[in-house]
Amino acid sequence: MSYPKDLHYTKDHEWIRVEGDIGVVGITHHAQDALGDIVHVELPAVGKKVSKGGTAAEVESVKAVSDVYSPLTGTVVEVNGDLDGNESTVNSDPHGGGWLFKIKIEKQDELAGLMDAEAYTAFEAK
């Protein structure tokens, strides 16, 4: 699997695309593949404060319910309403249309603790 180079990755298999002070968050191809068919997504409320590594959302698949952790500290400013009734987009386009939520990033320096695509590919292959 080739991971997008414009994303940053966590060891918990989330990704974040930084656009100024906004971060777009989703789960990686590896995560959705391990979970199987996504049947429900519990998105955070707009305005919710999230901290790096803290639970922000939940995805339910035919196999399990899994927490989605925020890669960075911030406040939720938008959720992907297109997933309502179209949860399978998380499976079919995890790094694009299957994004989960956006945060206003409070601590840009936390990016240093995340992996780039090359490091995540090596990590995921273990």
pLDDT of 1 reads 79
pTM for the whole thing? 0.97
According to DSSP, the residues that pair with 41 across neighbouring strands are 59
- Work out the widest C-alpha separation in the chain, in whole angstroms: 37
Dist CA 19 CA 41 (whole Å): 24
What's the CATH class of domain 8-107? mainly beta
> CB under 8 Å to 59, separation ≥6 — which residues?
27, 35, 38, 40, 41, 42, 65, 66, 68, 90, 100
pLDDT of 126 reads 83
Calculate mean pLDDT across residues 27-55: 97
Calculate mean pLDDT across residues 62-80: 97
